[in-house]
Amino acid sequence: MVDVKVVENGVQAKEIVETLVRNGFTMDEIYLLAHDKNRSEDLADAIDTNNIGLKEQGVGSAIANVFRSRGDELRSKMTSLGLSQPEAERYEEELDRGKVLVIASKVA
């Protein structure tokens, strides 16, 4: 099960994370993504959610992401959480517009 929310900022992301936790997701199942890598990491740290890492992606994808463009890396991370390729492409367009994704995944 994957639940994706598109938000404008960290305040909205925090509200969504709190709602997801109330709805049965654990903090270990919630991830934040922004197009800018530093923004992703800063928001994840501030709200205490996860970064999509080796555990979720697997060794091969994690290593390949070092050589991918940021867009390719983001789509790879989203598919590792259970999104389809067309969904990942659509959500990556939202990230291009400066939005933030809150992804809750029981798949990873």
- The pLDDT tens digits for 5-48 are 999 998 999 999 999 999 999 988 888 888 887 888 888 888 87
- Burial 38-47, CB ≥16 within 10 A → b, else e: ebbeebbeeb
Single pTM value for the model: 0.78
Give the separation between CA 23 and CA 92, rounded to whole angstroms.
25
**Looking at the DSSP assignment, which residues form a beta bridge with residue 4?**
103
Q: What is the pLDDT of residue 50?
A: 65
Six token digits for residue 71: 């867009």
pLDDT grade, residue 97 (50/70/90)? very high
Q: What is the pLDDT of residue 43?
A: 83
Q: Kindly report the number of other CB atoms within 10 A of residue 86's CB atom.
A: 8
pLDDT grade, residue 63 (50/70/90)? low
Give the separation between CA 91 and CA 101, rounded to whole angstroms.
8
